[in-house]
Chains A and B, each alone.
Chain A
Amino acid sequence: MGPLIPQEIIAEGWNFFIAFVVGVGFGFVLEQAGFSSSRKLAGVFYGYDTVVLKVFFTAAVTAMLGLLYFSLFDWIDLNLVWVNPTFLWSAIIGGVIMGAGFIIGGYCPGTSVCALSIGKIDAMIFFGGIFIGIILFGETYAIIKPLYMAEYLGNIKLSDVLGISQGTLAFFVIIAALVMFYVAEIAEKNFPRKEY
């Protein structure tokens, strides 16, 4: 029954090795899907390349279903799986700033590493930018701290907020994702762009 390391079913010493292997899988799949190209990544916002949407939501839904089915078969204890805490304002505003960074820079941290691994210089610059952005945050921390810590709602799940079961929420997310996929297919047909 997982998760294995927190329950000491396998030794903690394996943690970093597993992290590395997981990362290799992550990077490999990302690059295979084309996330090493800023042009493909930005494409979802203009309709000509919706790979981001398809991969992102398929991955989220796969893992979501995987966790729920594993829990059903007693293969994982969901109480021991980390649920990232919600600090409402920082989630929203941080997200907005990241959204701007995405459309301007064409990458996110994970994809920038993936892209720079195959030689994309713009990804290297982006990565350098992340470094600076974090320093900026560290230096102005005192100013932003009240916002950073505001509206702490705990490690809350959306299903708790909506008062529905996790399975039901997963079903709705699946429906939403499928709808988006169909729209994406139509968009790609209508907004083709040359590869460069």
Chain B
Amino acid sequence: MLTLKRLTAILFGLGLVIAFVPENTTKPYKLSAADMLTEVQFGTQMVSPDELADWLINKDPSIQLIDIRTPKEYEQFHLEGALNIPLSKILDDEWVDYVDQGIKMNIFYSNGTTLSQEAWMLTRQLGYENNYVLQGGLNYWTETILNPSAPSLFSADDEIAKYEFRKGASQYFGGGGVKSSTSQAKSKA
């Protein structure tokens, strides 16, 4: 019989426990470690500099560049149209609507690939979609797009075609094979 006395004991007990047990604030992981490994191995989240250059030149409105380096680095140089979400803040409530959405293609980039790959892994584990990684980061971007190296005389047709594309892109982005004045020196990560 559920008398008031018994109810009091039950509710008081349950209430006391729930007041003192720390709240479960971990966001649940949507992907298991095995799933993550598969995705990483396939590398479908990678975006090559050529692809990115193509989209930027065509002013593709569906992409959103996200610079995950520190604000200081962002201020020194960043790709046009990029948003700055430092890696340390990528899980903050402030940015959740940017990294967890289904409208744009977010492309994380950093100086190399390591940190942007980390950003991708963190958000992917929470089940967010539409996030990608710029392969090689700004270092590789500089090398291939801004200062493309001429193919040798014996290169395959597609190598030559790639070079032609990159030469054009380089001019568009202000590379032109010339070391640009801003400090785009190869930086770590």
Q: Enumerate chain A interface residues (CB-CB to B < 8 A).
A: 1, 58, 61, 65, 68-69, 71-72, 74, 77, 79, 165-168, 170-171, 174-175, 177-178, 181-182, 185
Contacts and interface: CB of A to CB of B under 8 A. Distances in A.
- Determine the main DSSP class of B at the interface with A: helix
Contacts of B24: 71-72, 74
Given A72-B18, A174-B15, A166 B23 contact: yes
B8 A178 contact: yes
Contact of A167 (B12, B18, B27): B18
Interface in B1-47: 4, 7-8, 11-12, 14-16, 18-21, 23-24, 27-28
For chain B, the bracket of interface size reads 10 to 19
B11 A61 contact: yes
Given A1-B28, A74-B24, A74-B28, A167 B19 contact: yes
Given A65-B14, A74-B28, A178-B12, A171 B4 contact: no
Contacts of B4: 181-182, 185
A79 B132 CA distance: 25
A174 B21 contact: no
B11 A178 contact: yes
Contacts of B19: 165, 167-168, 170-171
A72 B21 contact: yes
Contacts of B14: 65, 69, 174
A25 B18 CA distance: 27
Nearest to A165: B23
Given A1-B28, A165-B23, A58 B18 contact: no
A182 to B, nearest CB: 7
B35 to A, nearest CB: 16
Given A72-B24, A167-B20, A181-B8, 17 more contacts: A65-B11, A65-B18, A68-B18, A69-B14, A69-B18, A72-B21, A79-B27, A167-B18, A167-B23, A170-B15, A170-B19, A171-B15, A171-B19, A174-B15, A175-B12, A178-B7, A182-B4
Given A72-B21, A167-B20, A182-B4, A175 B15 contact: yes
